[in-house]
Amino acid sequence: MVATSTGGSALGRYILVRFLLIIPTVFILVTTVFVLMRATGDPITASQGGRLSADELQRRISEAGYDRPVLVQYWEYLTGIVRGDFGTSISDNRPVIEVLGQYGGATLELTAYAVALAVLLGLPLGMLAAYFRDRWPDAGLRVLAILAYATPVFFAGLLLKLIFAVGLGWFPVAGRASTAAQIEMRFAGDSSGFYLVDAIRTGQWWVVQDVLSHAVLPSVALGLLTAGVFLRLVRTNMIATLGTDYVDAARSRGVRERRLVVAHATRPALIPVITVAGMQVAMLLVGAVLTETTFEWRGLGFQLAQYLTVRDFVAVQGIVVLMAVIVAVTNFLVDIVAALIDPRVRY
Amino acid sequence: MRTIRSSRGLTLAASTASLALVLTACSGGSDGDGANGGGGAGGGSITVGTTEQVTSIDPAGSYDNGSFAVMNQVYPFLLNSPYGTSDVEPDIAESADFTAPTEFTVVLKEGLTFANGNELTSSDVKFSFDRQVEIAHPDGPSSLLYNLDSVEVVDELTVVFNLLEENDQIFPQILSSPAAPIVDEEVFAADEVTADADIVDGGAFAGQYTITQYSVNDLIQYQANPDYAGILAAPRTGTINVSYYTDSSNLKLDVEQGNIDVAFRTLSATDVEDLRTKDTVQVVDGPGGEIRYLVFNFDTMPFGATADDADADKALAVRQAVAHLIDRDAISEDVYKGTFTPLYSYVPEGVTGATESLKEMYGDGAGAPDAAAAADALDAAGIETPVELNIQYVAERYGPSSGDEYAVIEESLEVDGLFDVNLQSTEWVTYASDFSADAYPIFQLGWFPDYSDAENYLSPFFLTDNFLGNHYSNPEVDEKLLAQATETDTEARVALLEEIQDLVAADLSTIPYMQGAQVAVVGLDVSGAEETLDGSFKFRYGALSKG
Amino acid sequence: MSVPISSVGTAGAAPEHLGGRWAWLRRAPVVHQVRQSVGLQRAMLLVGIVLTAAFVLVAVLAPLLAPYGPSQRSDEAGGFGTQQPPSVEHWFGTTVGGYDVLSRVIWGAQTAVLVVLVAVAASLVIGVLLGLVSGYFGGWLDRVLVLVADAIYAFPSLLLAILLAIVISGGQSSMWGGILAAALSITVVFIPQYFRVVRSEVVRVKSEAFVDAARVLGTPHRRIMSRHVLRNSVRTLPLIVTLNASEAILTLAGLGFLGFGIEPTAAAEWGYDLQRAVSDVTSGIWWTALFPGLAIVVAAMGMTLMGESLNDLADPRLRSRTASTEVAGDVAETSVQADVTKEDER
């Protein structure tokens, strides 16, 4: 995020300006998506073409109002969003806000597992790589990280499925829970969106196990991708920190390299990692779309792919706008954190 | 030594992984037995998996296979087909007949109720049809009620449908179609599509099953409805859970590994072929109502009416040569591994009145292609070969194998250099609006019937000004199509339908070439699927039993 | 170079003042970095270059290397048969559509290279132009462009590419139509990256003293600007290009996998082949998924290794310690590179 504001060294002012920047960012994305979706055809033809005559199709299209001027539809949509009304999905006739609520939780759950895994793997391995800088373990780890990046998440998912679900049969193939577990959870009350929470609420161990075992392969697929990125970040920042005067001073006092990595360089090296990691949210969302599709993990990404194929632009717009807001807000928070930590960031 | 450090790092990674393993290891065997109480007739529970998608379970708000599949379990019809046939009989009706040329009178059985306790009377029936017409949802099936003028309530049990055209022989079929499920007027809204959740909460069901758990396109739990009073037997299984998939390979693995009992619509050809070799499941085949066909645009095809060298005879010769050459067995076997079967007529096998007109008239007479006959046809019309054909097909809409399917068609048409085929594919939304606008000279389409009557495979396509917009017109066909619609004598009507198929087969407005088989994959202990895989193309869970 | 450039800093001190016939080659991007690198860093860079070169070679020589055409289902000996396991005739087996997997993999390289070339070239040209204009003129145009670029840059790239692919390719199925559609959808996502680098460079150079000096001397302002900016950018851009190239391959594969890519009969595309192979995998047919998948990994890996190594070499903090001594004092360069480092980390 490049903040274009000049002067204004006060933190409060920076935060305000940075916050106001969210609005045009989201506005631009909403507009882009709206224009693109309208250019892809109407949902009536998508669902009823091939059954009805051209005249009948046209009649229904105009009845639904899709032949009105785009600007009118655009204005309607914008005012709707401002009022918090995302419309009703065309293909399955549900309030979009409800769709967002239901599936947002699933995506959040998946990304939480993946990020946890990525931190558990990426952090120690990145430090390891920095410690062994330019020696074989470093090269090996870096190649692994690049491999994790270069492997499309759906190919990784396919391989994981082939080995652990089809071959060894350790984990289920797809989905978030077995049918039996899902029913059990629904009896326990309305879904919170987080299956782990729902499962614990049933009070039955097998439901929890079921839910967790469904989460393993998707989390690993998405987690490995993210871990590769984390490893790179940690290594880069750790190496940079090890080259600073502060660490040099410690080194000159005779502190050993291993201790330097663990004790002295960790904190300063990790702060930028946290802020940069926050910026990975866009990458994470793309990864989630592909992972969810591969594993039929019914989250926002999965639904997005479904809605796209039926040209349900009301639903697609809703999901995309939410993603845009998530990205914009995360970036905003990251910038604020960065500014708090390092005053030089405030331009 | 550095190795110590590195091994500690690895231990951390390894222990993280093993923690995950321990947490999740033995989850396979558990069964949610507590959930499956089941109050209905059969008891027990069966889990069905499907890749179909539900648009809306309100009959006025959807017109697709996935939604209709749900409606068939939970709503009653006035007329319906029993297991094993496509012919309709009174369902929750005592009787249903023409009482005058434009009056179709239905008398309901006595004491009908919905699962929520509300009475099901003639006023619910009137409500169900009136709201279809009133709402006329863009995605709804209200267009099927084209011949309905008004619905009249005579008394608690009697309704009269006033029709526009006399003696409409299709109307009984319409009453079993997606436009005709009977709904509860106290739960459904008269002028707008009712939300799925309201329908489920309202318990507005009077079919074989009621819905007790509903999570859209994710999970539906059905319980047998003790108050069901239609022609189908009481359900054999008390609880049916339906799990929705989007990826057929995941569905395939789950049924193969026994995580679900039944997989129905739609597994890929590869999946079905592989499952046939497995001894943990049985593959049950039935006739399918889905057909694929090639459409010729009579204006823009080679030698078509608006071409520079327009010549109706030559155009016909081109169509005949194509009909001689299409290798249906290759498509069926190579591409679809038998999940689609060769189709030699306009009406698919399993539907009353189906012929095999194209088999006798084209190819070698036994269903295989005949290049010599094709060459003769072109030669006799004085056409120089190769003839250039531009064939358009649609990506994805009819499954991922369309590309392969058309590669085979291209190959079979290019035999002996008779044709030079250019294949083009288009994304569906563009395709759907372009094909009827003369954009494509020859193009692919598929059809799934609205109701299971031969007429539904003929009128929409071959009446002048049909939805294909291919400029086909044959007064004799028009006349016979109109005649069969009001022919009250069943045998005479079937004869008419057969004549129409022969006539169109001579004209070749379209060339149908394959028919989708209905394939259900069930566990070894599940029975009954074969009974409901019939020409009505309604898959009733009530026929299934386990153990 | 007639203009004083001392304050800009030079890339790699040593080769810069070597004369001779091959000096331009030694100074060329990539070659320069190979010479600059040492040890493992050089090994990684070389592996990356070799993989990338192999990938490009396969693509160029596809007509010679591939035993069959991308949509060929039979030869003189008859049909290939569908889903046949690897054999002498078909080293990698055949697909569900009856195509030769090896041939599809090889032709797929061609599709990928074409898409990468078009995507990178288009985004480079448009991004650089917009960056120059925006940075040079400033004002509200600059602000709007920056805002738009930031918004697009922050947004999940694949999603944008999908939407664009639907808009662009609705109705096209020819090989070039498909390739252009895929490439252009990726292009839009990449433009902001070039835009930002070039723009910040313009803004920086604009404030340099020598530009004012040159103006006083009567040299056209704009010429100096573009010359300096482009000169400096030439060192930065190869890095973004390589990283973008690998991202382009992954985005293309993602588009294909989700069914929004190139139509299969028009050209071989790995992502699409993988999607078709999904149902094979569950039936124990591994060869239709494994080979296209590995092809994506190898191609993306080669480019990423190259990009990563270039990135390291550009950043003095990350350069191997033995090598860093020879290039002291390129402060200006570093500031640009640090920017880039941050970007590719996002």
Task: Please list the ranges in chain A whose pLDDT falls under 70.
Answer: 1-9, 47-51, 262-265, 267-272, 274-279, 341-347
Closest chain C residue to the Cα of B400, Cα to Cα: C276
Per DSSP, the three-state class of B327 is coil
Closest chain C C-alpha to A36 CA, distance in angstroms: 6
pLDDT above 50: residue C342: no
Residues 114-143, chain C, touching A (beta carbon < 8 A): 143
B73 lies in some domain = yes
Closest chain C C-alpha to B88 CA, distance in angstroms: 38
CA B397 to chain centre: 14
β B209-215/B239-244 pair status: unpaired
Residue A323: the pLDDT is 85
Give yes or no for a contact between C9 and C330, defined as CB atoms under 8 angstroms apart. yes
CA B135 to chain centre: 24
Partners of residue A2 in chain C, C-beta under 8 Å: 146, 150, 196
Across the interface, whether the CB atoms of B271 and C96 are under 8 A apart is answered no
Does residue B469 share a domain with residue B374?
Answer: yes
Closest chain A residue to the Cα of C302, Cα to Cα: A150
Write the Ramachandran bin of A262: left for phi over 0, alpha for psi from -120 to 50, otherwise beta.
Answer: alpha
Number of folded domains in chain B? 2
Tens digit of each residue's pLDDT (9 = 90 or more) over C305-336: 888 888 777 776 666 654 444 333 333 333 33
Interface test mutation site (partner C, options A134, A136, A295, A342, max chain C beta carbons within 10 A): A134
Closest chain B C-alpha to C161 CA, distance in angstroms: 16
Structure tokens at B235: 């359900």
Across the interface, whether the CB atoms of B139 and A45 are under 8 A apart is answered no
Distance CA(C7)–CA(C213), nearest Å, equals 13
Across the interface, whether the CB atoms of A305 and C317 are under 8 A apart is answered no
Partners of residue B213 in chain A, C-beta under 8 Å: 183, 186-187
Alpha-helical segments (H) within C37-100: 39-60, 62-65
Does residue B400 share a domain with residue B320?
Answer: yes
B152 lies in some domain = yes
Query: By C-alpha distance, which of C251, C274, C240 is closest to C115?
Result: C251
Does residue B511 share a domain with residue B525?
Answer: no
Whole-number average pLDDT of chain B: 86
Across the interface, whether the CB atoms of C148 and A327 are under 8 A apart is answered no
Partners of residue B408 in chain C, C-beta under 8 Å: 73
B501 lies in some domain = yes
Across the interface, whether the CB atoms of C279 and B427 are under 8 A apart is answered no
Tens digit of each residue's pLDDT (9 = 90 or more) over C179-216: 887 888 888 888 988 888 888 888 877 777 666 676 67
Quote helix, strand, coil % in chain B, to nearest 5. 35, 20, 45
Residue A156: the pLDDT is 93
Does residue B48 share a domain with residue B187?
Answer: yes
Query: By C-alpha distance, which of C193, C249, C269, C186 is closest to C52?
Result: C249
Return the top range by mean pLDDT from A85-99, B5-19, B295-309.
B295-309
Give yes or no for a contact between B229 and B109, defined as CB atoms under 8 angstroms apart. yes
pLDDT above 90: residue C10: no
Q: What is the DSSP letter of B140?
A: S
Residue C23: the pLDDT is 66
pLDDT above 90: residue C299: yes
Q: What is the DSSP letter of B191?
A: S
Does residue B175 share a domain with residue B320?
Answer: no
Does residue B299 share a domain with residue B170?
Answer: no
Q: What is the DSSP letter of A233?
A: H
Distance CA(B315)–CA(B298), nearest Å, equals 8
Give the chains touching A; criterion: ≥3 Cβ pairs < 8 Å: B, C
Residue C19: the pLDDT is 52
Structure tokens at B547: 């153990």
Residue C3: the pLDDT is 33
pLDDT above 60: residue B11: no
Per DSSP, the three-state class of B388 is strand
B5 lies in some domain = no
Angle in degrees, CA B234, B350, B64, rounded to 5:
70
Other beta carbons less than 10 A from residue C76's beta carbon: 4
Contacts of C211 (CB under 8 A, 6+ apart): C205, C221, C224, C225, C228
Distance CA(B61)–CA(C117), nearest Å, equals 47
Distance CA(C49)–CA(C302), nearest Å, equals 7
Interface test mutation site (partner B, options A61, A178, A210, max chain B beta carbons within 10 A): A178
Residues 227-256, chain C, touching B (beta carbon < 8 A): none
- β-partners of residue B163 are B148
Distance CA(B330)–CA(B409), nearest Å, equals 9
Return the top range by mean pLDDT from B414-428, B481-495, C60-74.
B481-495
Across the interface, whether the CB atoms of A179 and B429 are under 8 A apart is answered no
Distance CA(C73)–CA(B190), nearest Å, equals 56
Interface test mutation site (partner C, options B270, B390, B393, B444, max chain C beta carbons within 10 A): B270
Question: How many contacts does B have with C, using Cβ atoms within 8 A?
Answer: 71
pLDDT above 90: residue B132: yes
Does residue B535 share a domain with residue B491?
Answer: no
Confidence of residue B292 (pLDDT cuts 50, 70, 90): very high
- β-partners of residue A100 are none
Per DSSP, the three-state class of A137 is helix
Confidence of residue B12 (pLDDT cuts 50, 70, 90): very low
Phi (first) and psi of residue B210, to 5 degrees: -115, 160
Other beta carbons less than 10 A from residue B191's beta carbon: 9
Confidence of residue B295 (pLDDT cuts 50, 70, 90): very high
Distance CA(B458)–CA(B11), nearest Å, equals 70
Q: What is the largest CA-CA distance in chain C?
A: 78
Residue B28: the pLDDT is 36
Other beta carbons less than 10 A from residue C57's beta carbon: 13
Tell me if chain C has a CB within 8 Å of the CB of B266.
no
pLDDT above 80: residue B409: yes
pLDDT above 80: residue C35: no
Provide the percentage of residues in chain B whose pLDDT is more than 70.
92
Does residue B254 share a domain with residue B242?
Answer: yes
Contacts of C19 (CB under 8 A, 6+ apart): none
Structure tokens at C142: 């600059």
B13 lies in some domain = no
Closest chain C C-alpha to A23 CA, distance in angstroms: 10
Residue C344: the pLDDT is 37
Residue B26: the pLDDT is 37
Does residue B492 share a domain with residue B344?
Answer: yes
Residues 389-408, chain B, touching C (beta carbon < 8 A): 395-396, 400-401, 403-404, 406-408
Expressed as residue numbers, the domain containing B56 is: 41-287+518-546
Does residue B538 share a domain with residue B478?
Answer: no
Distance CA(B280)–CA(B257), nearest Å, equals 8
Does residue B269 share a domain with residue B407?
Answer: no
Residue A186: the pLDDT is 76
ipTM above 0.90, yes or no: no
Mean pLDDT of B236-261: 88
Residue A47: the pLDDT is 67
Across the interface, whether the CB atoms of A282 and C155 are under 8 A apart is answered yes
Does residue B121 share a domain with residue B99?
Answer: yes
Residue A167: the pLDDT is 83
Residue B479: the pLDDT is 93
Partners of residue B219 in chain A, C-beta under 8 Å: 179, 182-183, 186
Partners of residue A154 in chain C, C-beta under 8 Å: 254, 257, 274
Closest chain A C-alpha to C154 CA, distance in angstroms: 7
Give yes or no for a contact between A86 and A100, defined as CB atoms under 8 angstroms apart. yes
Structure tokens at B250: 């995941």
Give the H or E element holding residue A209: helix A205-242
Q: What's B317's domain CATH number?
A: 3.10.105.10
Across the interface, whether the CB atoms of A54 and B433 are under 8 A apart is answered yes
- β-partners of residue B511 are B294
Partners of residue C82 in chain B, C-beta under 8 Å: 334-335
Tens digit of each residue's pLDDT (9 = 90 or more) over B479-488: 999 899 888 8
Tens digit of each residue's pLDDT (9 = 90 or more) over B356-383: 999 999 999 888 999 999 999 999 999 9
Q: What is the DSSP letter of B233?
A: P
Residues 305-344, chain B, touching C (beta carbon < 8 A): 334-335
Q: Would the CA dihedral through B238, B243, B244, B250 be positive or negative? A: negative
Residue with tokens 């596809």: C62
Partners of residue A243 in chain C, C-beta under 8 Å: 317
Q: What's B190's domain CATH number?
A: 3.40.190.10
β B45-50/B340-342 pair status: unpaired
Residue C329: the pLDDT is 36
pLDDT above 70: residue B426: yes
Query: By C-alpha distance, which of C267, C127, C123, C243 is closest to C184?
Result: C123
